[in-house]
Structure 1
Amino acid sequence: MLVNADFSRSAIVASHSYQWVASPQGGIERVMLDRLGGETARATSIVRYAPETSFPSHPHPGGEEILVLSGTLSEEDQHYPAGWYLRNPPGSSHQPSSHEGALIFVKLWQMKPDEKDPVRIDTNDPRAWQQQDSREICPLFSGEDEQVCLLRLQPGDPLFTQSIDSAELLVLSGHIETVGQAFERGSWIRLPPGAYPDITAGSQGATVYLKTGHLLNMPVGI
């Protein structure tokens, strides 16, 4: 299965255009943002758990990155409410579930094979944030080819203040504006190397998940 699989092109999925697709596990559905492969795939998705749903225990040979958007996601006896950021490195396994229901942002098979350490960050903790000029930043992960953070932008602030190799963002609150359009909470944008449109926070400001530098060797022309 190929969804937004040409990484030389920009890709946008606005929150009002979500297309929910059932997963093989009852009560769990997803919006496919980009995908290369079938049920085992390099994939970026929004995943929705109905209350009292779970996946059986399973491995993640290519690693898994999660940001909990609402509700609570559980892994066995560990519970992660909205705002938690998780990285499960290649070779890890887990049994995710949700008692109350949850909405999560998930990236699969997108980690370096030598990434070994799990990451757990509560982005609700003020100590996780740093002031950077007029914006606030919550660093989540830094690797050789990948930088991940949350950004809180003031109204009218630009998203990019320097050149980037590539970028992927998810609007978490407020809205952003670019090329005459506004993108509300839940909207996802992927920008290939060399594509740097002006993106600014809307009139109420915005909080975004931002990943940069990770798309340089992805396939083109698919």
Structure 2
Amino acid sequence: MYWLRAAYHQITSSYQPQENHGSNGNTSSGECLHGGGEEIFVLEGEFSDEYGEYPKGTYLRNPPGSSHHPKIGKDGASIFVKLNQFATDDLSQIDINTCDSQWNKGLVNGLSVMSLHEHAGAHTALVKWAPNTVFNPHSHWGGEEIFVIDGTFYDEYGEYPKGTWLRSPHLSKHSPYSKDDGALIYVKIGHLRVV
């Protein structure tokens, strides 16, 4: 596992471990301090630290100033990570197993939404797109960030398969939809700088 240690640089990345396991079969690192917070979504496998074990589908938020000793299980893992992107007063510690959480009806038929976090106008959620769902054309106040967890997400600008990360600036516009395979996406809105 490659652990990136950056002082306070904003980082968004997806990590997978190397085949270098410790004596207990786990890949681990030393203490990681999160001066600007850390947000994690476990895509595959199991991520853990001294506070718990987090299987596939777990959403974590570690607030500014928090620290932990992360580990990847013996069978490996893949995680989506955002570092140093919290507001200084966003001190919520969150641990949600999204596989056991409830979905709510979205704004159009075929969409299901699971809210994960909200703070100062920024909203984070999972959005499940049933096959052949069309959403309304819209713009993004404060921008939008999407990570495609499963399936394929579309808009008039392109096709975005599993593993694609999109970042659209303040007031960007699009008309998203899904096709036969549907999609599951991580979405964050309202968190990018308004110029």
Same fold (TM over 0.5): yes
The answer to whether the 8 A contact 2:138-2:173 is kept is: no
**Matched residue SS, 1:124:** helix
Q: Find out whether 1:190 has 2:164 as its counterpart.
A: no
State the match for 2:79 in structure 1: 104
Q: Find out whether 1:138 has 2:114 as its counterpart.
A: yes
State the match for 1:54 in structure 2: 28
- What percentage of aligned pairs have identical amino acids? 33
Structure 1 residue identity aligned to 2:87: K
State the match for 1:95 in structure 2: 69
State the match for 2:95 in structure 1: 120
CA deviation after TM superposition for structure 1 residue 179, in Å? 3.1
Cα deviation per residue 1:64-88 (whole Å; 9 max; x = unaligned)? Answer: 0000000100012511011000000
CA deviation after TM superposition for structure 1 residue 58, in Å? 2.3
Determine the C-alpha separation between the residues in 2 that align with 1:159 and 1:85: 25
Q: Find out whether 1:199 has 2:166 as its counterpart.
A: no
CA deviation after TM superposition for structure 1 residue 93, in Å? 0.5
Cα deviation per residue 1:40-67 (whole Å; 9 max; x = unaligned)? Answer: 2111011112352111012111000000
The answer to whether the 8 A contact 1:174-1:202 is kept is: no
CA RMSD of aligned residues (A): 2.0
Which of 45, 52, 68 is residue 71 of structure 1 equivalent to? 45
Which sections of structure 2, spanning at least 5 residues, go unmatched?
none
State the match for 1:168 in structure 2: 145
**Matched residue SS, 2:174:** coil
The answer to whether the 8 A contact 1:87-1:118 is kept is: yes
Determine the C-alpha separation between the residues in 1 that align with 2:150 and 2:112: 14
Displaced runs of 4+ in structure 1, greater than 4 A? 159-162
CA deviation after TM superposition for structure 1 residue 217, in Å? 4.5
Task: Point out the more displaced range, 41-50 or 166-175.
Answer: 41-50
Q: How does the TM-score come out when normalised to structure 1?
A: 0.76
State the match for 1:45 in structure 2: 13
Determine the C-alpha separation between the residues in 1 that align with 2:155 and 2:139: 17
| CA pair 199-136 structure 1, distance change in 2 beyond 3 A | same
Determine the C-alpha separation between the residues in 1 that align with 2:15 and 2:89: 26
Which structure would you say has the larger RCO, counting Cα contacts within 8 Å and 6 or more residues apart? 1
Determine the C-alpha separation between the residues in 2 that align with 1:108 and 1:158: 32
Determine the C-alpha separation between the residues in 1 that align with 2:102 and 2:87: 24
**Matched residue SS, 1:113:** coil
Superposition pairs of residues 13-52 of structure 1, within 5 angstroms: 27-28=1-2, 39-40=6-7, 41-50=9-18, 52=26
Q: Number of aligned pairs?
A: 184
Q: Find out whether 1:148 has 2:124 as its counterpart.
A: yes
Determine the C-alpha separation between the residues in 2 that align with 1:144 and 1:79: 29
